[in-house]
Amino acid sequence: MALLDPLFGSAAMGEVFSDAARVQRMLDFEAALARAEARSGVIPAAAAAAIASKCKAELIDTDALATATAASLNPAIPLVKQLTALVAKDDPEAARFVHWGATSQDANDTGLVLQIREALDVLHPDLDSLSLGLEGLAEKHRSTLIAGRTLMQHALPTTFGAKVAGWLDAVTRHHERLVEVRLRAFNFQFGGAVGTLAALRGKGLEVARALARELHLGIPTMPWHTERDRIAEVATTLGLLVGTLGKIARDISLHMQTEIAEIFEPAGEGRGGSSTMPHKRNPVSAAVVLSAATRVPGLVSTMLSAMVQEDERGLGNWHAEWETLPEIFRLTAGALHQMATIVPDLEIDVARMRRNLDATQGLIFAEAVTMSLGNHIGKSAAHELLEAASRQVRESGEQLREVLAHNPVVTEHLTLEELDRLFAPENYLGIAEELVDRVIAASRKHR
């Protein structure tokens, strides 16, 4: 399905999880293992050099590897066989020490951890770019009036900056999560057949420490062959990020509707058009992000389900991770890049936002009047009065202010000047602008 890769995926992430990269990262483990064992006196130094010289993906017959994997259930098994044969051609003695004391899952999992490290590095520039774009948008529109909407209906006035700050606040937490997940995820896998490193005859921890230095990875307290929380945490962290991207995309697409027309994705040649309707301007990036937000939760569910593994080696559940996690990364990277690209260039119709505040004949100010009138007649009584007045507005098409201006209970307690003040949206923003400042400051600390 390469035709759709540029739409939903990321070329850089595709490289990280390509077949060649998967093979190379497993070979990186094998080379590092040989060097670590040589440093620990487990195998001869010459053997380590000979093994490392053949740990190059371009030397591997990937077609043969794929065919053998279908029979062996594990790409590391035929990979080690090919590597051993390559080493044996030049140094039969060194070939004896390929994959010494390790198990195939050690190569698979450590290779995956190395890929995860690269993959998270691919995400960070776009995440930083998204934060920067949201900061600029929130700051610019700190005081721009817009209708706040709850349950898809007008609620109260707020600012567009406050809406964007909500997006940014969530993105800042994702920055924090991606830092934290690295601490737990960047631990190699090395345990041998059942996690005891028995084949290394007492030198297991020494080799493990040397291996950690070779790979620049953390050394776990113990092997984690069937304890998959680290890998599942990576998946769920990405799932949370994509959920936030989906929320932003949903808001943008809703506000891009013809009847609202407050926010627009950037225009461009061939972007968002229709094959039959020349006037169309569709939310392209929002659609891509929402597609990812629809697909990723199911994939994350697969990763969580795969945590339930048997004894010291999983059957089927471990294997379910192999294609699932790369797909989560691919979709996350694609969605994140789309959002990071459009946010700085979103077109904002400030005048339309202001006009839309008046779409309900002043009903959006009902709470402001209720709270002010409630000081005189009690909140419950004021609420009932405003409910009745709101029904009259909907039935008659009158403005709420005019209905209230002819209500004797209201005019007994509120002057016309006070009513005017209550129907000015900038007077009922609460701490919206202060919240924008707080979120921007927090984001800048983490970026």
CATH of the domain at 399: 1.10.40.30
Distance (Å) of CA 201 to CA 42, 48, 111 = 9, 19, 25
Q: How far apart are CA 403 and CA 392, in angstroms?
A: 8
Residue 129 lies in a domain: no
Q: How far apart are CA 27 and CA 70, in angstroms?
A: 19
Indicate which CATH number applies to the domain containing 55: 1.10.275.10
The residues annotated as belonging to the active site are: 274, 313
pLDDT of residue 446: 80
Residue 269 has pLDDT above 70, yes or no: no
Lowest mean pLDDT among 13-27, 255-269, 296-310, 388-402: 255-269
Residue 152 lies in a domain: no
Residue 262 lies in a domain: no
Residue 296 has pLDDT above 50, yes or no: yes
> What is the band of 274 on the pLDDT scale with cuts at 50, 70, 90?
very low
Q: How far apart are CA 181 and CA 183, in angstroms?
A: 5
Enter the tokens of residue 71.
Answer: 């029979």
| pLDDT, tens digit (0-9, with 9 covering 90-100), for 71-90 | 999 999 999 999 999 999 99
pLDDT of residue 271: 58
pLDDT of residue 8: 79
Any idea what DSSP says for residue 57? Answer: G
Instruction: Give the start-end residues of each E strand in 76-182.
Output: 145-150, 153-159
Distance (Å) of CA 321 to CA 10, 80, 105, 299, 306 = 20, 21, 13, 9, 7
What global pTM score does this model have? 0.94
Average pLDDT over residues 300-308: 98
Single residue among 173, 198, 217 that ends a domain in this structure: 217
The domain of 413 spans 363-422
Q: How far apart are CA 389 and CA 203, in angstroms?
A: 82
Tell me the percentage of the chain whose pLDDT exceeds 90. 93
Average pLDDT over residues 287-298: 97
| pLDDT, tens digit (0-9, with 9 covering 90-100), for 116-151 | 999 999 999 999 999 999 999 999 999 999 999 999
| pLDDT, tens digit (0-9, with 9 covering 90-100), for 355-376 | 999 999 999 999 999 999 999 9
C-alpha closest to that of 231 among 127, 315, 307: 307
Residue 41 has pLDDT above 50, yes or no: yes
Q: Mean pLDDT across the chain, nearest whole number?
A: 95
Kindly give the pairing relationship between strand 347-348 and strand 145-150: unpaired
Residue 196 lies in a domain: yes
Residue 195 lies in a domain: yes
Residue 265 lies in a domain: no
> What is the band of 277 on the pLDDT scale with cuts at 50, 70, 90?
very low
Residue 17 lies in a domain: yes
The domain tally of the chain equals 2
Contact between 211 and 110 (Cβ < 8 Å):
no
Residue 136 lies in a domain: no
